[in-house]
Structure 1
């Protein structure tokens, strides 16, 4: 696009010069018209350059350094050494489940700990504290210490990143936490705080063993284009038509195995998009489910709802794995490996316990459904 515009502008200037010679100084009106036309096209050319520049994932290098990346020969590369105290350089442990707890959401995490203690009691569980009060932190720490699962709560400050990263509706902190956790563990199972596993420990261990780079534990029936704002594709130099029949993997529960491929092909472009507002949140992007129209025909048409970090994750994985979702997502399970429990449900369950009202059906650990 830039080359074509430059050639066009060059030809226009040459023609303009020839016309000046032919017409001479007597035809001032024609010369003025030609000059206006040249100025118009030149302005359009500059605008095109500006738009192209906006579509570049060009971010402040300080954010990449905070995430454990360094600048080398004008290229970003991953490193385990960083000045950020949250990315310590030490021997990595093999595996951990990783999640987070948000302000006033301690109930969700308490029930998540219970769930994991029943399903995967011998594993590590790292919980990033993203805003608990001191009282809730102490309460959760005490619950952690009394649980059979080996859980660790780590306070995490994201204040050095743009403020929109902590928007609970967008969940843009998830890629940041994933990158940080992979500095501690070779492999992680990252789960959102509403995830509750069924009795699938053997299945999870098998998936973990087979994961080379990344494996999502759930995939939607809808294509990526249905839940991704069309302008996001531009930032990855991709045509939306390439994604029409690639299904969207969910970010609720995903295995990540640390590798050079994961760092350079998945995490780096993902984090760069997250930290580029025009990429992660294009003008007109909306996450309100009330505006989603997934019944549009054909189904691959944009529904009006944008998946933000999940959409960027899918675009990047699709490109990196040659548009084959089976290479980065589970597509052949006999049933869902987990279910979602809302914060409201978690609060209700714990409240009912205080009143001695049993709700065992809310945690079907042994269900094969």
Structure 2
């Protein structure tokens, strides 16, 4: 008995000694595209040209990301992510995406500080390379311009616990609110946000998310809130169906302060954005040679950047077919359309009806 106990202790000691720090994990992502616009005098970036001189077909590198995750200890990690494709245009304020440190006390609380994507919806918690569409939604980018989503500088506390049989995940963040790679906050105001996710069904992966935030921008009160639901149903051994629905509303102070003083009202609360999208996705497991699965999705989104004043709803349809090679989207070929319809098309701007055809190659490590 003693000999067996000594043997087990020796094995445990050896196993402990084998865990060495720091540990490094290199990540990479390439998204290369072919784009063709079928809009009337609309280029591949969505801008209308009344002169007719529009580039309507082009190859493009959407993302060339390189990331390094360094685990300094069992509880401490540093994450760096850059997008080298940003060098194709003015890189100022771009390129560096993630740059943060995280300390995990236990499953109930972990602290993050630096530049990261704060949790404020479904898309903030999912990397762009595994979403079920070509890119994030219009509302994701607009709320990013207003400091709630996308890459922001600040601090966050995250964790998980159970309320009875319901698992709960939470995130509470305090942010500068003026985007990535800024030397300092644009004012003394900060933006506070929170996200709570409730696991309603483990079998069908039904989760309900609630988001809320408030803050001050140039001494004016701003806010945002939203709700979302996700689900994943296994219809047969090979066929599954998942669905995402997300709604957001908030102050569009980015739009407000971009307008000339004489062209706006005295109250920033008069400028509010809101949007909703539905993203159904069917996945069929093939596992034939190197082809893993076939996916078919079609996101529908309705977004209005200022529904109280000068409302102009943008409806976007994104049907897409995707072939997956390898596991976890190691390789992916996607084909489909981004179809934009505005209540009011404005000539010589990107606020113009468009039909964009895309073929995208994605490789990730």
Task: Please tell me the TM-score bracket, short chain as reference.
Answer: under 0.3
**Considering only CA atoms, is the larger Rg found in Structure 1 or Structure 2?**
1
Q: TM-score, normalised by structure 2?
A: 0.25
Query: Which structure is higher in RCO with an 8 Å CA cutoff and minimum separation 6?
Result: 1
Normalized per residue, the structure richer in helix is 1
Normalized per residue, the structure richer in strand is 2
